[in-house]
Amino acid sequence: MSDQNGRPASNPVRVVVWYRAPSGDTAAVESAYHDVSRTLEGTPGLLSNELLRSATDKASFAVMSHWESGEAFDTWERGPTHQASTAPLVPYLDHAPDRRFELYEVTAAY
C-alpha cells in the first residue's frame, strides 16, 4: 500500500498508557479520561481512543489510542499541545516498573 505521494504507507499504530486510580477513586480517572478525550477531538491522525479497566485489578486502567500512523502520533507527541492536552491524566500515571508507555504497530486486523 502507498500513500498519495507513492511512498510506502506506514501501518496504523496503537498506543497504550497505564494509569492507576488513587485510593480506588476510579471516577477520578474516568473523569480525567473524558476531559482529555474532548480536548483531543479532531487531532490529526488520531482515529479513536478507549479507556480500559483491568478485570482483575479495578484500580488499574489503560488508555489505548488508535493512530493512523506512527508518524501522526510522533507529530502530535512532539507538538506544542501534547502536554497540556493530556495534563488531566498525568496525576494517575502508573509508575510501576513494568508499566511503561508502549507503541504497537498493527500487523494484521479483521
> pLDDT by residue (tens digit) across 76-90?
999 999 999 999 999
Residues 6+ apart with CB under 8 A from 32: 88, 89, 91, 92
Residue 2 lies in a domain: no
pLDDT category of residue 107 using cuts at 50, 70 and 90: low
Q: In whole angstroms, how far apart are CA 20 and each of 1, 30, 95, 110?
A: 39, 11, 9, 31
Range of the domain at 41: 13-105
Residue 31 lies in a domain: yes
Write the CATH number for 36. 3.30.70.100
Residue 45 lies in a domain: yes
Question: 58 or 43: whose pLDDT is higher?
Answer: 43
Residue 4 lies in a domain: no
Residue 81 lies in a domain: yes
What's the structural domain count of the chain?
A: 1
Residue 6 lies in a domain: no
- Is residue 2 over pLDDT 50? no
The mean pLDDT of the chain is: 87
DSSP string over 64-77? EEEES-HHHHHHHH
Residue 110 lies in a domain: no
Assess contact for 92 and 59: CB atoms under 8 A.
Answer: no
Assess contact for 92 and 28: CB atoms under 8 A.
Answer: yes
